């Protein structure tokens, strides 16, 4: 004998739709599948008058009609909702991965910008130092210019004094020369007179 297997009775079955509320009435549609959605028009004991989605109207036993979706339909709906949830979760996961990558990129940019800011701060400090040195150099340059002007003024004064001294020396030596010449002339004129007087006195003796 073949090995036996475990099985389950399916809840899928078909319900006939009749012209009236009784088995003696003609079947309008003999294969209304389990789970078919319909509109209940009237209820009379064991029978209910219904209208199918296609517009077909008839009677079927009330025991085959439930007010809530059957378990299989609920399961299918739950599976559909689960699939939607999984798809939504997948979308959220992809979005999360994208945001994580973007966050890492932003962190890398922040790190790079921090390094750039540090370099910029160092350059700014160097510029400030150079600017301060430039101010000191300008101040030193002005001081040197003032000192140069003072020295130039002193040199001009010394040149003027030297020129005056030279003029005074020239005048002095000119005076000395003139006096020497005059003294020489006087000696030249006076000496012969002394010689004549001496001779004259010799004659008188």
Task: Give Cα separations from 102 to 37, 90, 91, 94, 111 (angstroms).
Answer: 49, 18, 16, 12, 14
User: Tokens 């029978």 appear where?
Assistant: 47
Query: In this predicted structure, what is the pLDDT of residue 197?
Result: 60
Query: In this predicted structure, what is the pLDDT of residue 34?
Result: 78
CATH 2.30.30.40 assigned to domain 14-67? The reply is yes
Instruction: Characterize 114-133 residue by residue with b for buried, 16 or more Cβ atoms within 10 angstroms of its Cβ, and e for exposed.
Output: eeeeeeeeeeeeeeeeeeee
Segments in the chain below pLDDT 70:
1-13, 69-77, 191, 193-205
CB contact at 8 A, 18 and 58: yes
Angle formed at CA 85 by CA 84 and CA 90, multiple of 5 degrees: 95
- Report domain extents, the chain: 14-67, 68-153
pTM of the model: 0.33
């Amino acid at each position: 004998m073949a090995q036996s297997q475990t099985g389950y009775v399916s809840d899928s079955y078909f319900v006939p739709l009749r012209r009236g509320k009784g088995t003696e009435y003609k079947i309008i549609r003999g294969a209304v599948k389990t789970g078919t959605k319909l509109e209940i028009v009237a209820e009379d004991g064991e029978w209910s008058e219904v209208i199918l989605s296609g517009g077909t109207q008839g009677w079927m036993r009330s025991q085959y009609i439930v007010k809530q979706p059957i378990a299989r339909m609920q399961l299918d709906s739950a599976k559909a909702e689960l699939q939607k949830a999984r798809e939504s979760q997948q979308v959220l996961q992809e979005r999360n991965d994208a945001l994580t990558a973007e966050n890492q990129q932003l962190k890398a940019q922040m790190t790079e910008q921090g390094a750039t800011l540090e370099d910029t701060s160092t350059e700014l400090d160097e510029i400030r130092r150079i600017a301060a040195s430039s101010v000191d150099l300008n101040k030193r340059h002005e001081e040197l210019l003032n000192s140069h002007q003072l020295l130039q003024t002193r040199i001009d004064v010394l040149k003027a004094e030297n020129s005056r001294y030279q003029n005074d020396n020239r005048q002095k030596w000119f005076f000395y020369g003139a006096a020497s010449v005059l003294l020489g002339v006087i000696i030249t004129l006076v000496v012969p007179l002394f010689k004549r007087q001496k001779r004259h006195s010799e004659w008188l003796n």
